[in-house]
Every structure is written in C-alpha cells, then in structure tokens.
Structure 1
Amino acid sequence: MGKSRTKRFKRPQFSPTGDCQAEAAAANGTDPEEDDGPAAELLEKLQHPSAEVRECACAGLARLVQQRPALPGLARRDAVRRLGPLLLDPSLAVRETAAGALRNLSACGGFEVCDDMVTKDVMTPLVALLKEVLSCVLFHLILGAVLFGSTGLDSNEMSPQEKKDQNRNSIENIANEAVNVLWNICECSSRAVSIFNKEGCLEIVLKYLSRFSTNVDLAISVAYCLQTVTEDNPELLKSFSAPALHVLESAMLSPVSSMEYILLKTLVAGTIWNLKDIIPSKSQAEIINAILKILSEVLEMDAGETVIQMKETETQRIKTAAQTEDTLQNVNGDDLIEDDEMEEIPHRRKVRRKTFISDLLPIFEKTAFPNSIAVDVCSRNPSWKPLIRKMSTIQCRALVCLQSLVSLLDVDHLGGPAALQTLAQHLSQLLFSQPDFAKHVDFLEAISSALRALLQTVASKNIPQCMTPDQLLTLCRAGVHSSNVGVRVNVVSILGITGSVLAKEDGTLDTLKTIGCFLLEVATKDPSLVVAGEALDALFDVFADGKEAERASVQIKLLSALKEFQPVFKMKIRKEGRAKYSPDQLCVLDNVKMNLRRFVAYQETVEKRLTT
C-alpha cells in the first residue's frame, strides 16, 4: 500500500498495429483525440455484437496499454468504463481478454492510472466477476459452451469431457486475471483497499487460495494480493477468522518444494507476518518457527545455479524437440514445414520479490557477486538478460539485510569478534574486486550501509579494524561524488567512525588531517544539508578527543573554517529547511546546529591551549 513497485510489463519495442499513433500524432503536432489511431478503433469494437470481434479488440488493447504514449488517449476515451462491463460479458473468452487488458493497464499505468480506474468504478464489475466465478453462477455459460461450442471451438474437435476441462481452465484463467487486477489496484489505491474491506473480498480470495493444490498459479496471485492488502490495514485484520488463518497455514505448510510452491509459501509467510497482531499468543512461537523455516529454504537456493539448471533444461528440451522432429521426418518421409510463429517461447512468470529479514537466516552467501557462469549464460540470451539485474538485486537486498542484523544483534549472536573481522574482509573483497563499483549506485548504497553498520559495531566493542584507512578513503572519495544522497551520508559516516578510532591511537596525525580536510570539504560544499550535517557530526566525533586529533585540528585550521561556515549553515537551514526537508530531518539539523556551536567553543579552548 503506497509503495513504488517494479513494472511487470515492459513496453514493447514496436506496436503490433504499426507506428505508435500517439507518438506520431505528437510529432506531427496533431491533436491525439482527432487522430484516428488504433485506440479509437479498438474501443469502438468493444461494443460489436460478435464475441470474436470483442475478444480481438480486448487483446489489441492489452498490447496497446503497454505503450505509455497511448495511455492519455485511452483515458480521454474512457477505456476503463468501456472495458469494465466486459468483465461480465456472456463470452468467457471476452471476459478473460478484458481482464487481461485491465491487468496490463493497472500494471503499466502506475498510481495515477490505478486511482483513476477506481474513480471510473472498475471495482464494481471486478468484485462481481470474482463473486460470480466463485459461486459457479457461470455454470450455465459452461453448459452452453459445452453444448454449442460458444467459446469458438468446433464441437466436432473435442469430446464433451475435453470441452468441460477447457472451460474449467478458462474460468480459472479469468479468476487469475481478475485477482491480478485487484492486486495491482489495491497496491496503488487506498480507496480500492477500502472497497476490498467493505465488499468482503477477503472471503472470496481465500477460497481461491484454498485450491492451491489444484491451481498454484491462481494461489500465487491471491497470495501477492493478500500480502498487499494486509499491510497496515487494521480494519481487514478484524475479518480474519480461525478458518481463514487455517487456509493460510495449510498453504504455508504444504510439503511440495517446487519453485512455484516455494514462492507461494514465501508470500503466505509474508501475509501471516502482517497478521502477527491477531495470531493467538500460544501459536505465535510455532508460526514464527514455520516462517523462519520457509525463509531459510528460500535463502538456501542459489540463483546462479538455478539459472544454469534452467539453461540446461531448455537446451535439453530443444534437443528433444529436434530429435522428435527428425523422427517424424523419417517416419513420414516428407520435410516438415517450419513456421516461425510456432517456435516455442518458454513461459516465465514475471514476479516481484519481497525481502524478509531474520536473525537466524544464512544471508551471508547472498551478498557475494552473482555466479559468473550464470551471468555469462544470461548475457548470451537477450530474453534472459533481465535475470542479471535480478541477481544483482538479490545481492543488494542481502547487504541491506546484513546491515540490519549487524545493527540490531549483539556481537555474540553475530559469531563474536572473529566473525565480524571475517565479514569486514568479505565486504572489502566485494567492494575492491569491482574496479567500477562507484558506477553501480544500488550496490554502492547497499554495501556502504553494511560497512557503516559493521564499523560502528566494531568500534563500539573496541574490536580491531580490518580495513585500512586508505581503503576506506578510496571508498569515500568515490562515494562522495555519487548522485545518491544515501551513499554520501554513508561514506562520511564511515570516515567519522574510522577517524574517531584513529584519534585514540598514536602516530595517526597525517591520516587524521586527511580525514579532517575531506570531511570539512564535504560539510561546506555538498548541496544537501543532510549530507553536510552528517559530515559535521563526523567532524565532531573525530576531533572530540585525543592528542593526535587536537594537533590535527589546529594544523588544518578547523576552528577558523567552522567559524566561517557556521552562519552559512544557519542561513541554509532557515532558507531551505521547510521547503526541502522533512520534520525529522529538520530536527536532526537543529541538533547539528546546536552541537556546532558547542564544538566551536570547545575548539577555541583546544587551540588556545596548544598555541600558548
């Protein structure tokens, strides 16, 4: 609820109807509404008396909505109000393609489009469809399709049982598409979540989830939806009864260990975690252990090895298909006609991931770089290339997870000083074995956050540092030029922690001078007051105590520089504060301003003592 999310549909490289009409209209200076493009034609066909034409129009719109330039035109032409009623169309095929078009629209359009869909009352037919499918009101449609072939299949091509199975699958596909639309809209609109609560949608989707053993794809869609609507939704929590919790528990404890079921169990575990406040206290320990077991199972999986296995499976499948074709050629004695349109494309479900943090999980290995063989396999195949990014995302989230563990747990729970030193060496190797680490912003933010937490813990427990000041300065010099404020905050904090440790040691004068000059430059020149405030805090820590620190502060003329900067800092807070920064950030900046005044007074006594 209210979070940004990864798009699950990429905009196609070309339009199936030819040149993108919206772009062409913009280029020609034509009013898009006057342009007789595919949108107007497809929307008009939605009212056609032929179910086949309506189905084709829905399929065309499902492709068109993936092109961002087409979205404003579709909104002007009230596409949602025209597609919504087709969710209850007499034809199952039209229902399915209409739901697919709305699913793509909600996934590609973002928050504004989803909110507009709620305004255009898409929830009314959507909820009605979900209830109708669930309560088997479609029985007469199924019977009609079986008897009269109304799904577009020749009645002579299938046996009655085959037709029955075909229509059952079609209904489940409709339910899957509808649940995905519900999930997308609820993720982007609090009004949709309110409707979900009021219309009793929880009971509906839980019944779909209860059929996980016969349709795991539908169950996964429901689990995604549930994880979204149960987050920060106390009103919905009141609706969870013991039978409802039992459905979740059954899915989470399923003994099946395939990839699909691991995903399902992980999502259900996330939903149950959202419900922890209503779980009876006597059951909480058992539930938490079950969740930890599932998450451990997930983290034991190696994404790189999985990619390699997928490639081997695909290679074997293609080899088998080729052998089958050769066999058929030999049997028939005729050359088979090749058809590019019949080339098989492996189906890949596009999913979003949630990162779950637990102090008992083996996340250390996940921070390593993605398997080089797997990366090579993915880079050779254009359709597999997105997996490289996903493997990197796993690494970054593992580093963020590691930061949380190091910040929250006692040293003994982390394995003691030796384990922390090993971890520092591991992070150092991760960082400096990648020459262009500064270019990878997500990685740099994640690893600098982990290092910051680790160095803080090590320093607070007087554990010897494993990374040299030169290594940390290299990181900080690269990080301070990052466009990411979080990276810049992390690196100046790292330098402050390092400097405060060195200030207590002998023979560190030159290093302290280097650190002081670096932090002073960041404090006075960084455009962000948040970064400047962090740099000032770091200076306070480094030069707060110690003979070497006192000598270094005098030699770099720290006092005069801070006196000169003090009124500038106050003025920036006064001019930019309320417009650019949150109340919490302003509170921190006010504390820094007050500490700066005290630190200047302290430095005056230090300088007077050393110069006299």
Structure 2
Amino acid sequence: MGKSRTKRFKRPQFSPAGDCQAELAAAANGTELEEDDGPAAELLEKLQHPSAEVRECACAGLARLVQQRPALRGLARREAVRRLGPLLLDPSLAVRETAAGALRNLSACGGFEVCDDMVAKDIMTPLVPLLRECSDGLDSNQPPPREEKEQSRSSVENIANEAVNLLWNICECSSRAVSIFTREGCLESVLKCLSRFPTNVDLAVSAAYCLQTVTEDNPELLRAFGAPALQVLEAAMRAPASSMAYILLKTLVAGTVWNLKDIIPSKSQAETISAILKILSEVLDVDAGAVVMQMKEAEAQRLRAAAETEERSGKANGVGLTDDDEMEETPPGRRVRRKTMISDLLPPTNEELREATALLTAQQTALEIIVNVCCSEDPSDDEWEEELSSSDESEAFMESSLGDGGGQLLSPLCLSHETHAALTNVHIPRKVFEKTAFPSSAAVDVCSRSPTWKPLVRKMNTVQWRALVCLQSLVSLLEVEHLGGAPALQALAQHLSTLLFSQPDLTEHADFLEAISGALRALLQTMAAKNIAQCMTPDQLMTLCRAGIQSGSVGVRVNVVSILGITGSVLAKEDGALETLKAIGCFLLEVATKDPSLVVVGEALDALFDVFADGSEAERASVQIRLLSALKEFQPVFKMKIRKEGKGRYSPDQLCVLDNVKTNLRRFVAYQEAVEKRLTA
C-alpha cells in the first residue's frame, strides 16, 4: 500500500458578501441553465464594467454560479478563467477578493480537469503577483496602522485567504502549478500567511493546507526551506490548541514538517519526529462524538438566546410574529423569523459547526499522515512481486507457495528507530484501533436531524474508514509485541468481525467494505505468519466473501479473495477442514473463471495456489472439486485474456505479474497432476 492521502475532497468554499442581491439571486436561480441566455453570459459581461461595484457583484454572482455543475461547461466555453484572471489585480480590493473567491470555487467544484485548464489558461500569471502584494501587505514589521489602514489590512487578509485557497486547489491537481510555485518563489508569501496564525487562524489553515500539498515529493522546493521558514513552522506547531481550528492547523503543519524530514539535521530528527507524532496522538485523543454533541448544544443555546432577544425586542417595539411569517425550526419551544435576505442563499456562518468540522478534518488528516509515516513507496494493491525461480515446476511451486504465507505480497515496510519509538511511545496503535469503532450513535442521531449538520455524519464515517486503512499499515509494520501481543490481535480480529457483520447490507457501504476488508486482510496475514489462532468462523468468512465479490471495487474483490487464500492456507494444515476447503476452492474457481478484472483473476489463482499447495486435507479437497480439470480447461482462456485484454487496460507492472501468474498456473497444474496420480493410484 502506498501513500493514502486523498487528493480531492470537499472544500469549504468562498461565500461572497450579501450586498449584490440581483446578481446572486440570478445565479442561485440558474439551476436550469440555457446555453446562450443564461446568467453566465450577463455576469461575465459585467466583469468589464467601469464601476468597481458592478464588477464586484458580477464576481460574487459567478462565485455562486460555479457551484452548480451544469454551469461549468458554459463558463469554460465563455473563457471565464481568462476574464476573471485579470481582476485578481483589479484596483479595487473588493473586486480582487470576490474574483479570487469565484476562481477558488471554480477550482474546488471543477476537479482535476478544470484546475489543469486554469493553469493552461495562465491563471498563475496574475495569481503569483497577487500573492506577493498580499505578502507585502501582511508584513508584520510595519508600524501599527490607523483605523482605516487596519480595515485595509483586514481586506488584504481576506484576499490572501481566497488566493491561497485557489493556489492550494490548483497545486493539488497540477504538477505544472507546483513547478511554477517553486520557480516563482511563492513559498515566502504562503509562509507569511501561515505566520498570521495568532490573529487569523483561517488564513493560517489555508496556508498550511497549501504547504502540505506543495512540499510532498518536491525536493527542489525543500531546498528553499531555510532556518527562518522552519522557525515559522515550529512556531505554528507550538501554538496552543485553544480551538478546534488550531488543532487542525497544528495537524496540517505536522504533515508539512514530515514532508521536510529529509532536510532536518540528523541531530534533530528524533526530536522532530517525536513532536510530529505527539501532535497526531493528541488529535486522535479527542472524543469527536463528545465534541459534536457539545457544539450542537452550544448552537442550540445560542439560538435560544437569539430567539429570546428578538422576542423581547419585538414586544418592546409592539411587533409580534404572525402566522404568515416564514419560520424556521429552532430547539423545542422556540421559533424564530427566517430573514428573507440574500445572505440566506449562502452557506450558514456557524462557529459551532465550523469547530466540529475542523476537529473531524484534523483527525482524518492525522490518520492519513500516520499512513504516510508508515509507508514507503510501495507497490499498489494491484501489483505483485515475482516469486519463482526454480526450473522444476512442482518443487518450484511448492517452495514459492509455502514461502509467501498466502495471498498477495506487499513490499517490506521499515521504519527508522526514531519513528518506530515515537509511534509506540505516544500509543499511536491503540488510538488508531479506537478510531476504527463506529461513530457515536448519539452524535450521528443529532447530526442526522439537522440539514446543516448532516454532512458531519459522512465525516465521522470517513474518520473510521481512514483509521481502518491506517490499521493496515500498522499491523503490516509493527512487531506483534508492539501491537499488544497475540491476545490483542485476536481481540482486534473479533472487533473487526463484529464491525463487519453489524452492517445489515455490506454491499451498500462500499467505502467501509474496502477499508475493513483491507484491515482484516493485513491482520489475518500477520496472525497466520505468527501462527496465532484466527477468530472468523467459516460461515462468517464465506458471508464476507460472497458480499465482497459482488462489489464494483476491484480493491474489495482483491481483498476478499486474498482473505480466502490466507485462511484456506491455514486450514489446509489442520484436520477436519475438508468441507470448508472444498467451499473455498469452489468459490475461488468461480472468481478466477468469471471475474471481469484480470487483477482479481490473478489474485484468485494465487489464492488457489496457496490453499491447495500442501496438506492431506487440501489434496483430498482438490480431487473432490475436480480442481485439476477446471484449471486445465481455464489455462488457455487465461492466456488468451492476457494477450487480448492486457495491453491498454493494465500497467506494464501488472502485465509482468500476470505473466508470472500464468507461469505459476502451468507449474501448479503439473503439481496437481502428480497429486491426483498419487491419490488415485
């Protein structure tokens, strides 16, 4: 398994001010867009208006419009990027901010293709000098400004926040943008934004996201990090965790520092790695369910207080609520008038929701960083390593099958002593295990009842899924004693089984099924290698595999097939497992002959080799299910599929491995012929 940091995820987007009502209303009502006379053409035309206020309102309208997917194609056709780009350097600060916000939303909603197109259309040309101007405006060495200059400073920070978010989105999708970032010296500007963390944590978080992205696998940029830059990062890591936003900031900066580990002096390596993992450990220590409940209650109290204040104000002015007023629900016993203004069209400004979201994002990010800490540049889950070298077919097959312990191989993982010690000293394994539990049912229930809080349910699930992925790395990496010993692994296997079979319909939860099947696979592989008794019953095993093989995810199908191979190879050495081995063999044969993916087919064949490589029970089972004749019949079909489907659909590494499986199949057939001849003699 390689690095796991997800490259695209839903971003907080720019929310334009609510003073451009006509333009925003037109954009908000433009769900049924027409090719020629929709709102896009009118808004783009107004970008050239001599009035700064009109330009600002047009940008604000576009910031809303780009969040509607049907609008993206029309905006691309009308060259929206080329028309918005120059406004990043508009004389009006308000226009700069809304133009940057519109482009930020376009990059966040449009995905990889849109971001690549933005770079191709030269968005970096105005963006780089805008960042430099913002950096100059943020210079903390300037004397204390007057009140009007303070307002200007605030505007500069707002512009910087939108610009850095735009830069982050583009750099995450475009290697060319990262090259421009490095070449044009954007690092200094982004670090200046990060240094504002004591007074503007939102800007600092945006800068930290950007830095974590551009420092990953970028040796050229790393050379630009001198002592002053490292001091800025260190200061941010040491910031007090006074809010969930600061916890998120510290987590992101820890990820950036991990990316920089190769330039940190060797004498400071241990201390730095320890500091990084201590931050991640502290993030995982927080009970997210409890925080969500606390924030929801705080919101309810605030709304009750606001309703009471409004009610008192209405009575004082002789104004009461009527049945005709549009209402919104608040906590029981209170109703408050819904304000019918354009700001209602915008995402709600809710500090409690922002805090809960920041914590869940921090925990997800922490788990992703731990995976990156654990994993070197490993082959992907769709690749195998070469295994055979002996010329004698049956002996070569036996040696390879007994040697790999069952299932697909992962390249060896290794950690420095400093990293290994830091992982265990701050109890990372235990805290990751705890995060694999289902989210708090009370928190899920509370969030599910509120439309604005409901997205947090998905975020809580994502933390669990990331923890399961992280668990795979830890189980593959650490020695059994550092994971708590054999009893802890058996308890963990039981825990994962309970999680798995508590789902009423496994196939409806693809993300969860992929994460937990991968975790089970890694755990069972470790337990098999250490001769630790496994906990899944044959019925549970077959239930998992029947559900998993129906998944549209190749990863899920590979995992369940590998699990069968691991478990079957253990059972083959035991007495009384004949019927289970027959069921496993029939299942794997069906997968090998019917699955549309050659990757899954190859894994199923490898699993068959593992299960039926040795043992008297396995030999009897193979004869009773007529394994030899089935594989002989499938052998030419497999060769033909590799020849016809391989090129263009699979990578060179995958083709090399499939060719190796083809060779193994020929050797296994020869081995089975010898087995059948001996048993029937």
Instruction: Tell me if both proteins adopt one fold, taking TM over 0.5 as the criterion.
Output: yes
| Structure 2 match to 1:5 | 8
- 1:473 CA drift (Å): 1.0
Partner residue of 1:372 out of 441, 450, 459: 441
- 1:254 CA drift (Å): 1.3
| Structure 2 match to 1:130 | 131
Identify if the C-alpha distance between structure 1 residues 19 and 427 changes in structure 2 by more than 3 Å, giving closer, same or farther.
closer
Identify if the C-alpha distance between structure 1 residues 554 and 4 changes in structure 2 by more than 3 Å, giving closer, same or farther.
same
The answer as to 2:167 corresponding to 1:167 is no
Deviations 1:310-340 (A, max 9, x none): 1101001011112222443455555489552
- Equivalent position amino acid for 1:346 in 2: N
| Structure 1 match to 2:166 | 181
Quick check: 1:58–1:98 contact (8 Å CA) kept in 2? Answer: yes
Identify if the C-alpha distance between structure 1 residues 23 and 4 changes in structure 2 by more than 3 Å, giving closer, same or farther.
farther
Number of residue pairs the alignment of both structures matches: 584
Q: Quote the Cα distance in structure 2 between the aligned partners of 1:92 and 1:11.
A: 16
Quick check: 2:14–2:101 contact (8 Å CA) kept in 1? Answer: no
Partner residue of 1:573 out of 642, 648, 654: 642
Greater shift after overlay, 262-271 or 295-304?
295-304
| Structure 2 match to 1:392 | 461
Partner residue of 2:299 out of 287, 309, 314: 314
Deviations 1:266-291 (A, max 9, x none): 00011111111111111111111110
Q: Quote the Cα distance in structure 2 between the aligned partners of 1:36 and 1:437.
A: 47
Quick check: 2:27–2:65 contact (8 Å CA) kept in 1? Answer: no
Quick check: 1:3–1:187 contact (8 Å CA) kept in 2? Answer: no
Structure 2, unmatched stretches of 5+, are 16-22, 326-336, 375-422
Q: Quote the Cα distance in structure 2 between the aligned partners of 1:257 and 1:549.
A: 61
Greater shift after overlay, 127-136 or 418-427?
127-136
Identify if the C-alpha distance between structure 1 residues 39 and 71 changes in structure 2 by more than 3 Å, giving closer, same or farther.
same
| Structure 1 match to 2:659 | 590
- Equivalent position amino acid for 1:106 in 2: S
Deviations 1:568-594 (A, max 9, x none): 111111111122111221122112111
Provide the secondary structure at the position in 1 that maps to 2:25: coil
| Structure 2 match to 1:500 | 569
Identify if the C-alpha distance between structure 1 residues 555 and 541 changes in structure 2 by more than 3 Å, giving closer, same or farther.
same
Provide the secondary structure at the position in 2 that maps to 1:133: helix
- Equivalent position amino acid for 1:169 in 2: S
The answer as to 2:501 corresponding to 1:432 is yes
Quick check: 1:472–1:495 contact (8 Å CA) kept in 2? Answer: yes
Partner residue of 1:274 out of 225, 242, 259: 259
Deviations 1:101-125 (A, max 9, x none): 1111111122222222222222122
The answer as to 2:344 corresponding to 1:341 is no
Provide the secondary structure at the position in 1 that maps to 2:439: coil
- Equivalent position amino acid for 1:341 in 2: T
**What does 1:81-92 correspond to in 2, within 5 Å?**
81-92=82-93
Quick check: 1:11–1:66 contact (8 Å CA) kept in 2? Answer: no
**What does 1:247-258 correspond to in 2, within 5 Å?**
247-258=232-243
- 1:257 CA drift (Å): 3.6
Identify if the C-alpha distance between structure 1 residues 18 and 3 changes in structure 2 by more than 3 Å, giving closer, same or farther.
closer
Provide the secondary structure at the position in 1 that maps to 2:670: helix
Higher relative contact order (CA 8 A, sep 6+): 2
Quick check: 1:424–1:454 contact (8 Å CA) kept in 2? Answer: yes
Q: Quote the Cα distance in structure 2 between the aligned partners of 1:433 and 1:42.
A: 52
Provide the secondary structure at the position in 2 that maps to 1:384: coil
Partner residue of 2:25 out of 16, 35, 58: 16
| Structure 1 match to 2:379 | none
The answer as to 2:119 corresponding to 1:118 is yes
Deviations 1:508-565 (A, max 9, x none): 1111111111111111111111111111111111111111111111111111111111
| Structure 2 match to 1:79 | 80
- Equivalent position amino acid for 1:82 in 2: R
Deviations 1:20-41 (A, max 9, x none): 768553xxxxxx2xx1321121
- Equivalent position amino acid for 1:318 in 2: L
The answer as to 2:213 corresponding to 1:214 is no
Provide the secondary structure at the position in 2 that maps to 1:169: helix
Deviations 1:234-290 (A, max 9, x none): 111111101111110110111234201110000001111111111111111111111
- 1:68 CA drift (Å): 2.0
**What does 1:519-558 correspond to in 2, within 5 Å?**
519-558=588-627
- Equivalent position amino acid for 1:307 in 2: V
| Structure 1 match to 2:183 | 198
**What does 1:471-482 correspond to in 2, within 5 Å?**
471-482=540-551
- Equivalent position amino acid for 1:64 in 2: L
Deviations 1:445-502 (A, max 9, x none): 1111111111111111111111112211111111111111111111111111111111
Quick check: 1:519–1:538 contact (8 Å CA) kept in 2? Answer: yes
Identify if the C-alpha distance between structure 1 residues 388 and 561 changes in structure 2 by more than 3 Å, giving closer, same or farther.
same
Q: Quote the Cα distance in structure 2 between the aligned partners of 1:201 and 1:433.
A: 50
Q: Quote the Cα distance in structure 1 between the aligned partners of 2:532 and 2:124.
A: 58
Structure 1, unmatched stretches of 5+, are 26-31, 147-159
- 1:3 CA drift (Å): 6.6
Partner residue of 2:629 out of 560, 573, 578: 560
Partner residue of 1:484 out of 538, 548, 553: 553
Q: Quote the Cα distance in structure 1 between the aligned partners of 2:297 and 2:58.
A: 39
Provide the secondary structure at the position in 1 that maps to 2:137: coil
- Equivalent position amino acid for 1:7 in 2: K
Q: Quote the Cα distance in structure 2 between the aligned partners of 1:257 and 1:399.
A: 29
Partner residue of 2:272 out of 267, 287, 292: 287
Q: Quote the Cα distance in structure 2 between the aligned partners of 1:340 and 1:223.
A: 36
Quick check: 2:510–2:551 contact (8 Å CA) kept in 1? Answer: yes
| Structure 2 match to 1:401 | 470
- Equivalent position amino acid for 2:434 in 1: E
- 1:393 CA drift (Å): 0.8
Quick check: 1:209–1:222 contact (8 Å CA) kept in 2? Answer: yes
Identify if the C-alpha distance between structure 1 residues 339 and 443 changes in structure 2 by more than 3 Å, giving closer, same or farther.
closer
Identical aligned pairs, as a percentage?
75
